[in-house]
Chains A and B, each alone.
Chain A
Amino acid sequence: MSDVTDDHVFLSLTADHGDADARWAFGTGFEDPLHGVDTTVPATVDAAELAACCLALGDDALVGAQRLAQWCTRAPELEEEMALANIGLDLLGQARLLYSRTGQVDGSGRDEDAYAYFRDAEDFRNVRLAELPNGDFAFSITRLLVLSCWRLAVFQRLAATAPDPVLKAVAAKGVNELAYHRQFAADWAVRLGDGTEESHRRMRKALAGVAPYLDELFAARPGFGIDPAEVRKETTAVLRQVLDAAGLELPGAEALPGQGREGDHTEHLAPLLAELQSVARAHPEATW
């Protein structure tokens, strides 16, 4: 609450007057993205498994979106900056839906903001690949390619077999978006890998940087009987297809100890979250 007397100027803009002209900006007055969706959890669904699955996929998306947003004002071309930000926006939307679902089923009743802004690094369940710094454009493209291939394989399975109708619908919606992201990343991987000597060298370096984080994607189970071995097979097949066309190879690498899904993170996640959460934590009850 505030004792500033000219608050009414802003209240008049944000209040719902039932007047179609009363809007003043998109992105204000957020409400539950599952508003008006039937959110009953079927009796046969294991709520703990559902919550863990939604949280892990939500964390991958939020952290991935934040890294993509960090390209704003730094991308090599305006068009690519717009592309990376748009992909981040899709992922942010997926994160919002998944966090809302988590709060409905984990018994805490928390809203999406509680998951995004009021948890610390050790509470996040994203894979570490998502949190690594952006590096150069080649690294960001390589990471995006790997994560979109993997997430698409998982979402396709959830869209077909997830026993929870909300998660199933969120996944079905995500499939179209992720296929578009993957295509964007694949186009660039081929262009860079099969481009100049310098761009090829950078792609090789990027693949070497990504390789130690791959096992973690397939070790972690998103849940509901999805076979990680099947996801690995599909993901690596698509990656090989792209890398072949790009004149590149996926290098082998020893997997790193620990699991992001168990809360083991690199030193890069905490600073990312500190920036992401700073405004919400400075003004915890603020609406705008």
Chain B
Amino acid sequence: MVTTLDERRARHVAGQVPDPELPMLTLADLGVLRGVELLPDGTVVASLTPTYSGCPAMAEMRADVAARLRAAGFARVEIRTVLDPPWTSDWITPEGRRKLAEAGIAPPLAAPRRTGGPVPLRLSATRRAVACPRCGSSDTEETSRFSATSCKALWRCRGCLEPFEYVKEI
């Protein structure tokens, strides 16, 4: 595939747009920017995928990417939504995980594997080793499976006693 300089620039611009709810991450870090392409007629096509079906920030993300690209001189911008394959927390890049931890938010563990059969249910209390993003202790516990945004859960560190947010593995 031939990548022109303009296409690389468009990719860079779109890749720098921050997530509206986790502004320490770019949309590229979060794994919701699926691709940026420059068509022969000069139109930039950016593809986004929602994190959750009900993510209220999706329209915001579309508008932000389009606005940044226009501001960078690309007059014709088209935003496409990609639903397949669905986003999982595994799409968050290593760079994104590092930034989350730096901001005091524990990055997600590996998402559960789906093999095609019935989704298994977990009823025994298996402890997940989520490290405290402040002190690094692995003596932590979940306080709520949900939090202030769709993508996070609430945890607490028994070492330093601080509560912290954890990006749900999904």
Residues of chain A touching chain B, judged by Cβ–Cβ distance below 8 Å, are 16, 18-20, 22-23, 26-27, 29-31, 33-37, 79-80, 82-83, 86-87, 89-94, 96-97, 152-153, 156, 160, 165-166, 168-170, 172-177, 179-180, 182-184, 186-187, 190, 234, 238, 241-242, 245
Contact = CB atoms under 8 A, between A and B. Distances in A.
Interface stretch (B101-109, B133-141, B143-151): B143-151
Main secondary structure of the interface of B (DSSP, over half): loop
Given A169-B84, A241-B121, A30 B59 contact: yes
- Nearest 9 interchain pairs by C-beta: A93-B54, A93-B53, A169-B83, A79-B144, A173-B86, A36-B80, A169-B84, A89-B54, A83-B146
A182 B82 CA distance: 26
Contacts of A20: 64, 67-68, 71
Main secondary structure of the interface of A (DSSP, over half): helix
A186 B121 contact: yes
A81 B55 CA distance: 18
A27 B88 contact: no
Most buried by B among A33, A79, A86, A156: A86
A86 B20 contact: no
Contact of A35 (B53, B81, B148): B81
Contacts of A86: 146, 150
A22 B59 CA distance: 13
Given A18-B66, A90-B53, A180-B170, 14 more contacts: A18-B71, A26-B20, A33-B81, A37-B81, A79-B146, A79-B154, A83-B144, A165-B84, A169-B83, A175-B86, A176-B114, A177-B53, A182-B121, A234-B118
